[in-house]
């Protein structure tokens, strides 16, 4: 699975492939840095699980991106 240098891969589709536009990346980047910084080096699934765990605290934009990808 490919990774971004800044390690904010979070929007996974059912196939396991990373599906992320610059807009989607920007929508959740601050949330990942704020809520899931400790998990950033642990892989996509762990970061995604962290965002889901903190779902009520993520920004509206990030929440929308997650919902659009069935997360």
Query: pLDDT digit string (tens) for 2-40?
Result: 343 334 444 443 334 345 678 888 889 999 999 999 999
Say whether pLDDT at 41 is over 70. Answer: yes
Q: What is the pLDDT of residue 58?
A: 96
Contacts of 33 (CB under 8 A, 6+ apart): 8, 40
Distance CA 17, CA 59 (A): 24
Q: What is the pLDDT of residue 17?
A: 37
Nearest-5° Cα angle at 37, 15 to 27 = 60
Give pLDDT tens digits for 48-58: 999 999 999 99
Q: What is the pLDDT of residue 60?
A: 96
Q: What is the pLDDT of residue 20?
A: 64
């Amino acid at each position: 699975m490919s990774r971004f240098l800044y390690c904010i891969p979070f929007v996974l589709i059912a196939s396991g492939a990373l599906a992320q536009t610059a807009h989607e990346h920007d929508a959740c980047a601050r949330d990942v840095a704020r809520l899931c910084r400790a998990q950033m080096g642990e892989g996509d699934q762990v970061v995604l699980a962290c965002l889901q765990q903190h779902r009520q605290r993520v920004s509206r934009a990030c929440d929308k991106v997650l919902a659009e990808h069935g997360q």
